[in-house]
Structure formats: structure tokens, C-alpha cells
Amino acid sequence: MTAAPQRPDSITFTVVAPHSVRRGEAVPITLRLTNTSARTLNLYLTGRTITFDIIVTRADGKVVWRRLEHVTGQQIVQVKTLTPGDQCRRASLRGRLHADGRHPDRP
């Protein structure tokens, strides 16, 4: 069996989070972009501090939490250069729900 051919410009996006947490606990989330190609690539990312939105939904698709809900993003572009194998990480993003599962900004 052979591996699928790799596209010349490939970025692998990985989200690392615990399988489960107790209600009310902060959830550590790490986002990782990895250059899996054989050449140097430029990433164009937004925000003075690189900004990613994260949306948590229930099994039925109902949104439980959204990191950037009610947040205005900065219209600043950062260019990150990744050589082959390099990673761009954004770690320690945390979401928190009330003990009953409600979002803090929702009634």
C-alpha cells in the first residue's frame, strides 16, 4: 500500500484538547499548524496576537461556546514563515462554562 500523494503546499492543522472536563472547569486548547511540505511556506494570520476562533457545539449542532463571540478582531495581518517541519502554535486558549453548562455571556 502506498501513501496518498502529498500536495506541494501542505499545512496540517491539529487541535489538542482533553477528551472531557468537568462542568465549570477551564478547558486547555492548543492549536497547531505544521508545515508538512518540502518547502518553506508563508502563513497569513490575523490579529496583533494571532487570533483563532473556536466553536464548541453539542452533538445536535447547538453552539455551547464560541471563543470570539462578542469580540472585535483587529484587522492586522501577520506573516509567519514556516520551514519544512516547523510549527506555529497557539496554546492555553481556555473556555469556561457555568456549572450547569451555560455560556457565561448567555442567560
Query: What's the one-letter identity of residue 34?
Result: T
Q: What gap in Å lies between CA 38 and CA 35, rounded to an integer?
A: 8
Confirm whether 64 is domain-assigned: yes
Q: 89 lies in a domain?
A: yes
pLDDT at 58: 83
Average pLDDT for residues 77-83, to the nearest whole number?
Answer: 91
Contact residues for 3 (Cβ-Cβ < 8 A; gap 6+): none
Residue 61 lies in a domain: yes
Domain encompassing residue 88: 11-18+25-95
pLDDT, average across residues 21-36 = 84
Instruction: Tell me the pLDDT of the chain averaged across its residues.
Output: 78
Let me know if residue 103 belongs to a domain: no
Residue 36 within a domain: yes
CATH number at residue 77: 2.60.40.2360
Please indicate, yes or no, if residue 100 is contained in any of the structural domains: no
pLDDT at 41 over 80: yes
What is the Cα–Cα distance from 87 to 81, expressed in whole angstroms?
10
pLDDT of 44 above 60:
yes
Q: What is the pLDDT of residue 7?
A: 62
pLDDT > 90 fraction of the chain, expressed in percent and rounded: 22
Q: Is a pLDDT exceeding 60 seen at residue 48?
A: yes
User: 29 in a domain, yes or no?
Assistant: yes
Q: Is the residue at 6 inside a domain?
A: no
pTM given for the model: 0.65
Number of domains comprising the chain: 1
